[in-house]
């Protein structure tokens, strides 16, 4: 069985893949100080609590936080007797090309989303990931990653607004009933929700025009379901896009190794 780990700037997701489906998924906050032993105590406790029996033989990691990778390597080696594949490292091959400026380091999560999107939907895609940052990844007709766009994340924007303006409260993002707010919270929610709808629509339109071909727009990430409420913004929503990509990359490397 495969343990797939997606470590983002805010949360880290652990999923167990049995070769056919994910049998369990858990989230924890991303903390680079967390030791290999702490990871194991946390994971094994949850597995026991939910009666999940899994003989983990392989581990693959995608991490946008480089400092956590060392302890995850130790975790995999110490408790599962395996050296994990780490996306972005030379020893972890990708089934797609990466065509960007020489010397550019592309985030592992963006590469994994590209692999997953191409595997599920084919080429000519825009993958919009609502994470700590809102990213737009462009997938060419042959599955290659050819660049994208990075914008501030929704919650990051709300937090910045709250911190920079003393009179503005912290609010939870939701779709407002009306565009014109009649109180401070409604005004902020409208600005963020419709502002990001406009941002996504405009950026995707410009990418399509520049790409010169019709493209499908795929959404993923924690706040993606919220923005699915905006009509005609996305063609598909995929909750487990990154995790699916990790299974594809793992399988590809196993086949290369023979």
β partners of residue 60: 4, 85
CB of 101 closer than 8 Å to CB of 146? no
139-163 in b/e form (b: 16+ CB < 10 A) is: bbeebbbbbbbebebbbbbbeebee
The separation between CA 239 and the C-alpha centre of its own chain, rounded to angstroms, equals: 9
Residues taking part in catalysis? 109
Contact 53, 216 (CB under 8 A): no
CA distance 156 to 193: 13
Q: Which helix (H) or strand (E) holds 108?
A: helix 108-121
Extended beta strands in the chain, E state:
2-7, 11-17, 22-29, 58-63, 85-86, 125-130, 133-139, 145-152, 216-221, 236-237
Query: In degrees rounded to 5, what are phi and psi of residue 181?
Result: -80, 145
Which contacts (CB < 8 Å, 24+ apart) does range 77-82 have? 78/36, 78/37, 78/40, 79/36, 79/40, 80/3, 80/56, 82/56, 82/57, 82/58
**Interatomic CA distance for residues 160 and 68, integer angstroms:** 26
């Amino acid at each position: 069985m495969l343990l797939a780990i997606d470590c983002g700037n805010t949360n880290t997701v652990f999923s167990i893949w049995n070769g056919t489906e994910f049998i369990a998924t858990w989230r924890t906050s991303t903390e680079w100080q967390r030791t290999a032993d702490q990871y194991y105590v946390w994971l094994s406790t949850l597995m026991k609590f939910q009666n999940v029996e899994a003989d983990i033989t392989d581990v693959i990691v995608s991490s946008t936080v480089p400092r956590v990778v060392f302890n995850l390597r130790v975790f995999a080696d110490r408790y599962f007797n395996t050296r994990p594949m780490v996306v972005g490292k030379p020893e972890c091959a990708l089934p797609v090309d990466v065509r960007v400026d020489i010397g550019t380091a592309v985030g592992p999560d963006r590469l994994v989303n590209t692999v997953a999107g191409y595997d599920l939907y084919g080429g000519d895609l825009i993958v919009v990931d609502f994470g700590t940052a809102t990213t737009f990844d462009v997938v060419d007709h042959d599955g290659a990653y050819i660049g994208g766009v990075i914008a501030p994340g929704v919650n990051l924007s709300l937090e910045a607004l709250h911190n920079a303006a003393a009179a503005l409260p912290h609010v939870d993002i939701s779709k407002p009933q009306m565009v014109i707010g009649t109180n401070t919270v409604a005004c902020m929610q409208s600005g963020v929700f419709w502002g990001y709808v406009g941002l996504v629509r405009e950026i995707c339109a410009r990418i399509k025009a520049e790409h010169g071909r019709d493209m499908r727009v795929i959404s993923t990430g924690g706040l993606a379901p919220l923005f699915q409420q905006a009509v005609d913004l996305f063609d598909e929503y995929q909750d487990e896009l990154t995790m699916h990509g990790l299974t594809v990359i793992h399988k590809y490397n196993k086949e290369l190794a023979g």
